């Protein structure tokens, strides 16, 4: 892998992970269009950890406050006594749906839903839903008014991100808007809700990074991590600032254009529906919209490669064959 590839893929992951435009679609298409091989599980793990780090750093103050409030609420026997303690519970409980659904629909997520036709349809479909919600929403409620029911509903919206191309941030922001929250607060809660899923996914994928015997050099790994981390921070800050005074219409238009372009590339034979855009002797994976890597169904794995049967996290945040799945993997 060249330095240019490391920089470009780092930028793609860092930016698209947090904007409501689907990181899966971009990480599937960009390498294919540029004629690059899929970076593989090892490099994807580095990129994932870079963006996880961006979320943790950007919301470090919030995380400390939520953690303190959570335990203080338990000690005082008032778990929902303050805003911070409530948000901590809402984030934790709101992560359950994506974990449960990931386990229930694991097989479909790993096979039929991986089609690029599904991704293109998902890009367009969610764009239409987001447009309708944006138009009908009141945009008046704040996080101070959030209830447990709201937190669970947004959690259910996050589970929709198990469908590749839907975008985790896109579904959760749409869910928040549908409940009447302001755009900025819907996005803020979306980022907080992403922390458990993306962190768990990053930790699990680190295992594959350590097991991999064939992968990019240390220099390009460092470059990709730094670029995804910095671009991820910029994407979080930029989106929160953007949504303070603007609507999500630009993302609606972008998703529709992207979906139609993907359909065009599929029709022209530039891309294969099954996602066979790269070959590697380590499990080929890309980061998905649920915050976890997924496996290209058509990418063969050398049976003689150590760790080749280790599996990889799919779009549900669940583990592919070879790694015991856990209800916490969301």
pLDDT one-digit tens code per residue, 177-190: 999 999 999 999 99
- DSSP 3-state assignment of 287? strand
Give dist(CA 194, CA 161) in Å, integer. Answer: 11
Asked whether the beta carbons of 92 and 296 are under 8 A apart, the reply is: no
pLDDT-based confidence at residue 224 (cuts at 50, 70, 90): confident
Q: What is the largest CA-CA distance in the chain?
A: 63
Asked whether the beta carbons of 152 and 93 are under 8 A apart, the reply is: yes
- Ranges 174-183, 257-266, 287-296: which has the least confidence: 287-296
Asked whether the beta carbons of 206 and 42 are under 8 A apart, the reply is: no
pLDDT-based confidence at residue 289 (cuts at 50, 70, 90): low
Give dist(CA 110, CA 284) in Å, integer. Answer: 13
Distances in whole angstroms, Cα of residue 27 to Cα of each of 5, 79, 221, 264:
12, 40, 16, 17
pLDDT at residue 319 tops 70: no
pLDDT at 132: 96
pLDDT one-digit tens code per residue, 27-57: 778 887 888 876 654 566 667 778 888 989 9
**Whole-model pTM?**
0.77
pLDDT-based confidence at residue 312 (cuts at 50, 70, 90): very low
pLDDT one-digit tens code per residue, 98-107: 888 877 887 7
pLDDT, average across residues 189-204: 81
Give dist(CA 312, CA 283) in Å, integer. Answer: 7
Give dist(CA 260, CA 71) in Å, integer. Answer: 48
What residues contact residue 120 under an 8 Å CB cut-off, 6+ apart?
25, 165, 259, 260, 262, 263, 266
Q: Nearest 5°: CA angle at 185, between 80 and 55?
A: 90
Q: Which two tokens stand for residue 281?
A: 């002797």
Q: Which residue has the tokens 């592919």?
A: 320
Beta strands in 221-273 (DSSP E): none
Of 114 and 66, the structure prediction assigns the larger pLDDT to 66
pLDDT at 215: 59
For the chain, state the CA radius of gyration.
19
- Which of the given ranges, 1-5, 93-97, 219-223, has the highest pLDDT on average? 93-97
């Amino acid at each position: 892998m060249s330095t240019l590839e490391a920089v470009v893929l780092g930028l793609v992951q860092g930016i698209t992970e947090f904007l409501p435009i689907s990181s899966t679609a971009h990480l599937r298409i960009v390498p294919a269009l540029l004629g690059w091989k899929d970076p593989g599980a090892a490099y994807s793990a580095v990129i994932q950890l870079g963006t996880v780090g961006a979320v943790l750093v950007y919301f470090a103050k919030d995380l400390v406050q939520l953690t303190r409030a959570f335990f203080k609420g338990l000690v005082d026997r008032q778990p929902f006594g303050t805003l911070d303690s409530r948000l901590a519970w809402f984030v934790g409980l709101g992560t359950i749906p994506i974990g449960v659904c990931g386990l229930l629909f694991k097989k479909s997520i790993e096979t039929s839903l991986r089609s690029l036709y599904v991704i293109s349809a998902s890009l367009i479909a969610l764009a239409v839903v987001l447009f309708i919600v944006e138009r009908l929403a009141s945009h008046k409620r704040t996080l101070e008014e959030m209830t447990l029911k709201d937190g669970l509903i947004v959690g259910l919206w996050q589970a929709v991100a198990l469908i590749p191309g839907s975008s985790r941030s896109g579904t959760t922001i749409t869910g928040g808007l549908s409940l009447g929250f302001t755009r900025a607060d819907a996005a803020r809660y979306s980022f907080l809700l992403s922390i458990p899923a993306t962190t768990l996914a990053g930790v699990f994928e680190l295992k594959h990074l350590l097991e991999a015997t064939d992968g990019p050099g240390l220099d390009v790994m460092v470059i990709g991590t730094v670029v995804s981390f910095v671009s991820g921070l910029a994407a979080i800050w930029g989106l929160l600032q953007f949504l303070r005074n603007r609507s999500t219409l630009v993302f609606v238009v972008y998703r529709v254009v992207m979906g139609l372009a993907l359909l065009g590339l599929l029709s022209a034979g530039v891309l294969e529906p099954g996602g066979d855009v790269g070959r590697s002797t380590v499990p080929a994976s890309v980061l998905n919209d649920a915050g976890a890597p997924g496996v290209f169904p058509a990418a063969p794995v050398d049976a003689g490669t150590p760790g080749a049967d280790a599996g990889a996290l799919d779009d549900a945040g669940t583990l592919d064959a070879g790694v015991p799945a856990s209800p916490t993997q969301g």
